[in-house]
Structure formats: C-alpha cells, structure tokens
Structure 1
Amino acid sequence: MLPRTPKPALWRFIKGSAKTLFVLEAVCFAASYGLYYRMNTDRDFRRYINEKYPYALEYYYKIGEIVGDIKARETDAKYWRSTAEGFKNE
C-alpha cells in the first residue's frame, strides 16, 4: 500500500476559497432576487427606491423594457402623480 501524503497547503486554500466564493455568490443571488421581487410587486417600495437610489430604479426599468414591460415607468409616474395630487387636495 502506498503511504498517504498530505495535500499541499495551496490546494486546501484554493478548495476553501472556492467553497466560500460559491456560498457568497448564492447569498448575493438570493438577495438580488429578493430585491427584484419586492420591486416588481410593491409600487410603494419602488417609490422609496426612486427617492433614495434613483439609479437603481432606472436599471430596473431598463431591464423591464428589455424583457417586455414597457409601460411600467409611465404607470408608476402616473400613479405617483395622482397620489401626490390627492395629498394636496386633502
């Protein structure tokens, strides 16, 4: 039987780094999907994103236009204008 030799430290480092990278990538994917899902279903959250991070909402609209939802930007703007007018009238 051949004697067992320990694996080089570099190989263990690469293997551990690959596992860490895989887990980190999975967490980032889950977080980005959660953010996309919330932006896709909650108009008030999109308004919050528009106030705090307008560039992120711009990317959301661009992706939506590529995928096929062309009217999302206009629909949101129309809704936000109508709610703003409602607050002024009260």
Structure 2
Amino acid sequence: MLFKNPKPAYRRWIKRGAITLFVIEAACFAGSYFIWQRVNTEREYRKYLHDNYPSILELYYKTGETLDPLNRVRQSDQACWKKQV
C-alpha cells in the first residue's frame, strides 16, 4: 500500500506569498505606467506636478534628458506656462 506524504505547510505559505508579491508587483507596474503615460502626454498634468510635486516632475525631466539629449519638453512647458501667466 502506498502512503501519501502531504507537502509541508511552509511550501503552501511560500507559494501564496510569491503569488501575492507577483500580483502586487504587477499592480504597481501598471499604476506607474499609467502615471508615466499621463505625465508624458498631458501638459496640464505636468503643470499640476510642477505646482504640487516639483521633485517628481524634475525626475521626469532629468530622465527624459538623460535618455534623449535633444529632449526639449522642459523648455516647451516653461514657454507655454509663461504665455499663460
């Protein structure tokens, strides 16, 4: 007669923990992509970040200028905002 040996309980907890971490990571990635897409396409949202969270906007500008030295989003935004005032 064959006996079934149950798997240890810690394996179940590790599996659940790994799945939970994967779901949380996927949700964080989706949220960060949504925010990046919004910052990348909407000047009004960049103005909101400029007024309320300037460090986040500065990080966005520096990342864009590092990846593409010809990136002129900062200058374009500042020129547009000066016209509005």
Same fold by TM-score greater than 0.5: yes
TM-score normalized by structure 1?
0.86
1:70 paired to 2:79: no
5+ long unaligned stretches in structure 2: none
TM-score normalized by structure 2?
0.91
Cα distance in structure 2, aligned partners of 1:80 and 1:66: 23
1:39 corresponds in structure 2 to: 39
For structure 1, which segment, 27-36 or 68-77, has the greater mean C-alpha deviation from structure 2 after superposition? 68-77
Give the 4+ runs in structure 1 shifted more than 4 A.
Answer: none
Cα distance in structure 2, aligned partners of 1:52 and 1:2: 67
5+ long unaligned stretches in structure 1: 85-90
Aligned residues: 84
Which amino acid letter does the alignment assign opposite residue 55 of structure 2?
Y
Task: Report SS of the residue matched to 1:6.
Answer: coil
CA RMSD of aligned residues (A): 1.2
* Structure with higher RCO (Cα < 8 A, 6+ apart): 1
1:27 paired to 2:27: yes
2:9 corresponds in structure 1 to: 9
1:88 corresponds in structure 2 to: none
Cα distance in structure 1, aligned partners of 2:80 and 2:6: 65
